[in-house]
Amino acid sequence: MTKIGFVRHGVTQWNKEGRAQGRSDVPLDGEGLKQARSLAERPEVGEWDVVYSSDLLRAKQTAEILTDNLGIQLYLDSRLRERGGGLIEGTTEEERVRKWGPEWRELDVGFEPHDSIITRGISFIEEISAKHHDRNVLVVSHGAFIKHLLKALMPDLEMDESLKNTSLTCLVKCESGWDCDLYNWTEHLIKDGSIQM
């Protein structure tokens, strides 16, 4: 049985400021590092055979903390990067409204197309499912990317709640595709008093 766990990276200063990150290479802040350590120290995180991560710094830092604690190999993969945010990267909602008006979402601001996100995400899933058949694979990535990919893999999955920083979501391969046995798990943040972003 192949199991894939998705972890959203720890919190950054841009998360706290409400700035769109996209492909911008923003590091974790002190709280984000603490969140990743709290996750790594929880036995409920489970046993993993290998960890893959986006090569963007905030995900890579999160993954390095996890692999140091788990004592397993880390592989970086650019297909796991966040959705490209085009012109809005580095801006807040207030700044976007000021620059482009309240209907800015209807403009072409250079977002990475949905099809591009799904193509690279499915390519990654198919490759690691074949390479690590019947293994447990942990993937550290980004909120929007993970949600787009989960929706493509499991269209009926209820995902109204935004993925929190360092949340864990687990999928298990079954005959009909994928089952979700854990969604947006953040008990480690409640235990250590971290702010859930």
Active site members: 9, 82
Q: Which residues share a beta bridge with 144?
A: none
Question: How far from 39 is each of 106, 117, 142, CA to CA, in Å?
Answer: 38, 27, 16
- Residue 85 has what DSSP assignment? -
Give the type of residue at 171: L
C-alpha 173/C-alpha 108 separation (Å) is 37
Question: How far from 197 is each of 5, 31, 32, 77, 108, CA to CA, in Å?
Answer: 19, 11, 10, 25, 28
Give the type of residue at 66: L
User: Which run of H or of E encompasses 139?
Assistant: strand 136-141
